[in-house]
Amino acid sequence: MKSDAEPHLRKSREFLEDGTLLLSKARYARCASCAYYAMFHAAQAMLANEGLEPHTHEGVKTKFSEIFVKERKAIPAEFGRMLSRAHDFRLDADYAIDLKSEVGQEVARQQLENAYRFLTMAEAHLQRGTSRG
């Protein structure tokens, strides 16, 4: 694993810890937001390992799916969908103010579980040392 990936993994782990704490405090919207950022930084770690540093959320989602799901087929497509769905929940959690967009306990719990799975996948991928350069 390249050294550029480690800071992203560290941040991903921090967001998971924060999300776990927020879930225990019934702060479901913030938990879902943290879950997304845990996945986002895990995806950035994988991209950094490839020498890529997208500067936007859309760039990270697009490059992650393009390289790891479509091009190499190294990662199951469910992880690309997971990242994209988590982004949608994060937008609701951070910006929506109507009750229809409210993030509930079950959604927050599921997003946090997905984030753990995503980070575990990213760490395993990086441990295999798979990179282009």
Give me the residue spans of the domains in the chain. 5-127
Classify domain 5-127 at the CATH class level.
mainly alpha
Tokens of residue 65, six digits: 């799916």
Whether the per-residue pLDDT at 129 is higher than 80: the answer is no
What are the C-alpha distances in Å from 57 to residues 40, 88, 99, 105, 109? 8, 11, 25, 25, 22
Cα distance between residue 118 and residue 29, in whole Å: 19
pLDDT in tens, 10-67: 999 999 999 999 999 999 999 999 999 999 999 999 999 999 999 899 999 999 999 9
pLDDT in tens, 68-107: 999 988 899 999 999 999 999 999 888 887 765 678 999 9
Binned at pLDDT 50, 70 and 90, residue 133 comes out as very low
Q: CB under 8 Å to 97, separation ≥6 — which residues?
A: none
